[in-house]
Structure 1
């Protein structure tokens, strides 16, 4: 059995110092280069409402600055800021920044929607070498984590469970995943304004284009245009309506959705 000293040494392999994330921070002199630096994104409302406990454990084990609650900070803003700062540090000759850029892995704890959100953000960054993403099955269905061997049941949130998962992330091999991209065009509803849906009201998998002008001969009938992507499934019609109703109710009453099994029954 590993003692606390060995575990603390092992955790150094995942640690990223604060200045890598924050350009206003002073550069730290670090002697050890982590072999598997990670950034952790946690949806604290996913699945059985275990995210808050998981967030606390990860922040105790790693640097608080490398663990993000998705209710407070979106992955696109975090990663844009990170990569801009890393590029600046690399230009200044920072070896640690270069190695973190090369070795970085992402961890996302949530359901399929949360995992798809992060995958979409990484895809939109158009990186030459995008970081691999490990998915913690924190949601209700967890089809995406299950397909890639991370399991389907909600994980433990204690120290030992998190350390075990970090070890799996370090040892995991990269597997490519197919993605599909869609363009949706919808007619402007009668007797209602043709303003596009606000970004905050859209699913994370969709991005709004500018409204198609009615003078465009090819798209005269359409007023709403969206592009998006998906990685494991895409629903329309009744199935999507049921899923959206579940999502809306959980957003309004999170206290009623605290168990993975009962969530699936609901």
Structure 2
């Protein structure tokens, strides 16, 4: 039976049966069949006539049956999603959470769920992809709680609450692991559906996508249709919390049914991430075994940390996960922000805050992994802390010398400068940092054993005795002038720690201390009068007038200065950190130190060698890698460690766009 279409004026929203678009206009907007009430645009009339005409009862419907005649009642079709929809009138612009298009009309423009506030067109009821919250709660088999933190105020702009689906206008919280946003008063109603970072199944090697609704990045593109899917008009769209792919809500069902929907392969991070199916955690319902806990003990603190177990057999040959250590107290708030950023992009079980237990828990969890990389975020002292942890754990690690990258968060950051990671963190995105680690060059790195042998015959009764000790040196060792300034800085920070929370302020204090030394009366003895130097079993005479002596392993010193210089001089070679030699350099005074800092002059070259011995007969300030103290008369022996470290040197050509 053919349609009997007649031109008609519609006084409330009506939609074309063929294209499902709204009929626009004030009068005579389209055509309606007098037999079955089918509606059509003028432009769709020829195609609409090809559709079969079936007599229907019930009179006029704003949205009639679409062209395939498969859906009998949109509200009935929406029941499977668990929503409780009611027709609603909106008095300000409102957008469909399914197709992200505007709800047009003057009254009764769309439907809204009375439980979760989901909003949609009537035509979208039959293709919903988002289940109601009460139905989602029943689908969770392994509840994982969220880790809520307060973001910067700027991070809340153009965000929508994942609980009440309303726009965030004031303070809010977000999960640092899966990046769900919520009002503070909505957190108690959020589902425990955070990313699953470990697995209870020891045989499954594939992993499903973890879908998170809404709040997509501005450059997001749909994996199905390749069109932009970002919108800040409502909570819509989906993002995988692991691989980062994004979808339109309207493309979600088609993607799930297509060949593109495979197990999550983590995309760009597949070589760096620790897959959850490789990780298992101790079961909380039973008593922990001894090898599942680690006690990190110091003189002032005691930590008991539950560590995950990693099954290396389930790691692929190409996978080399990154073990991340960040000092949360470094760089002001930068350390905490980076911990949150790496926890979001990687598996949180491979990211550790050094201020909460040190490096041993992380190293212990990776003890059975034969191939991995390490990223250390902090100052030079933090890097030395992690390298010392590797030395301590070397007999228990399958990979005792993993390649290490440095993320500079301290004040001087000389090691990071020498490895081309820069003098400080300048806000690079976490993905760019991970790309840089992936492209970095592996370099052998010399490390040195420094032994202090006390000469008790030279210590006066008034000065007393200091316990002999052995330390490991990575960067440099200083005696005299530069160590005295480092010691004054350390004492000032101990007296007022609240003031030393920025890199700029710390450098200002160093400058102030150097200026004070320049204009103050110098009463210290010249080093050639109290010190003897032996390099490779040969005595070396010290120049007169020396106020400081420095042993260099790297070319950077004093927050970026290069005191050894690059000029060619007979009897001396270029300074490198992998040549098995140390450079012995002298400082003549504060003015000389200032000229070195200003790159106007180099230090006084004295010697180069592998085995160095220094003895002095009076108490002098000493610093190793920035850690300074007063040292009583002793003999210092510096020898090359047999085990070199492997450091990651940033590649100058690394530049990849970030997709997340």
TM-score range, shorter chain: 0.5 to 0.7
Output one character per residue of 1:28-53: Cα deviation in whole Å (capped at 9) or x when no partner: 79976362301111112224442111
Aligned partner (choices 308, 331, 352) of residue 68 of structure 1? 352
Q: Distance in 2 between matches of 1:265 and 1:122?
A: 34
Higher relative contact order (CA 8 A, sep 6+): 1
Most deviating of 148-157 and 16-25 = 16-25
- Counterpart of 1:5? 245
Q: Distance in 1 between matches of 2:220 and 2:432?
A: 12
Aligned partner (choices 162, 174, 187) of residue 442 of structure 2? 174
Q: Distance in 1 between matches of 2:379 and 2:508?
A: 16
Aligned partner (choices 326, 347, 364) of residue 42 of structure 1? 326
Match of 1:228, SS state, is strand
1:226/1:28 Cα in 2 relative to 1: closer, same or farther (>3 Å)?
closer
Q: Which runs of 5+ in 2 are unaligned?
A: 1-218, 222-243, 247-264, 283-290, 293-307, 510-660
- Counterpart of 2:379? 111
CA contact (8 A) 2:309 2:365 kept: no
1:27/1:259 Cα in 2 relative to 1: closer, same or farther (>3 Å)?
closer
- Counterpart of 1:14? 272
Alignment of 1:213-224 (within 5 A): 224=467
Q: Distance in 1 between matches of 2:312 and 2:360?
A: 28
- Counterpart of 2:499? 256
Alignment of 1:117-196 (within 5 A): 117-126=385-394, 130-156=401-427, 161-186=429-454, 187=456, 190=461
Cα displacement (A) at 1:145: 0.8
Larger Rg: 2
Q: Distance in 1 between matches of 2:281 and 2:495?
A: 33
Match of 2:376, SS state, is strand
Most deviating of 226-235 and 25-34 = 25-34
CA contact (8 A) 1:185 1:223 kept: no
How many pairs does the alignment contain? Answer: 219
Instruction: Give TM-score scaled by structure 1 length.
Output: 0.68
1:50/1:26 Cα in 2 relative to 1: closer, same or farther (>3 Å)?
closer
Alignment of 1:219-230 (within 5 A): 224-230=467-473
CA contact (8 A) 1:47 1:257 kept: no
Match of 1:14, SS state, is coil
Give the root-mean-square deviation of aligned CA atoms.
Answer: 3.5
Q: Which has the higher strand share?
A: 2
- Counterpart of 1:211? none
1:154/1:26 Cα in 2 relative to 1: closer, same or farther (>3 Å)?
closer
1:76/1:240 Cα in 2 relative to 1: closer, same or farther (>3 Å)?
farther
Cα displacement (A) at 1:180: 1.3
- Counterpart of 2:477? 234
CA contact (8 A) 1:135 1:145 kept: yes
Cα displacement (A) at 1:64: 1.9
Q: Which runs of 5+ in 1 are unaligned?
A: 87-100, 195-221
- Counterpart of 2:518? none
Q: Distance in 1 between matches of 2:438 and 2:383?
A: 19
Match of 2:421, SS state, is coil
Q: Distance in 1 between matches of 2:309 and 2:361?
A: 21
CA contact (8 A) 1:135 1:150 kept: yes
Output one character per residue of 1:87-143: Cα deviation in whole Å (capped at 9) or x when no partner: xxxxxxxxxxxxxx2320000001111112222332444466510100001111111
